[in-house]
Amino acid sequence: MTETTTREKWAERVARWKASGQTATQFQAKTGIRAGSLRYWQWRLRKEQPPQRARAFVEVAPATILPAAAPESLEVVLSRGLRLRVPPRFDADAVRQLVDALEAR
């Protein structure tokens, strides 16, 4: 068996072990693959991986804050289907009186 074949075989075994969520000893009991060999090959395969490049810092600038859009008017639908549009700033007492008058009609 060539070294590449051996490495591929052990990489597959280690992947199955890790995917199982079991400890190496539990995996050994289930499969017969020695726990020490699994741990060794896990270490060796990790060691053979090329080092990961350090992550570069990226400057983050705050977004331009736009002024808030004026809120839209409110629409009140009365019991008879009448609709009353109320501007964003309104006198609540005046609106209450108007609603009472319209509902009384």
What tens digit of pLDDT does each residue of 52-85 get?
777 777 677 776 766 666 667 888 888 878 888 8
Q: Which residues contact 85 (CB under 8 A, 6 or more apart)?
A: 73, 74, 75, 76
Query: For the segment 29-58, what is each residue's pLDDT rounded down to a tens digit?
Result: 999 999 999 999 999 998 888 777 777 776
Residue 62 belongs to some domain of the structure: no
Q: State whether 44 and 80 are in the same domain.
A: no
104 pLDDT band, cuts 50/70/90, is: confident
The per-residue pLDDT for 1 is 65
The count of structural domains within the chain is 2
Tell me which residue range forms the domain holding 84: 74-104
Residue 82 belongs to some domain of the structure: yes
Residue 56 belongs to some domain of the structure: no
Q: Decide: 84 and 75 in contact? Cβ < 8 Å.
A: yes
Q: State whether 43 and 8 are in the same domain.
A: yes
The pTM score is 0.47
Residue 38 belongs to some domain of the structure: yes
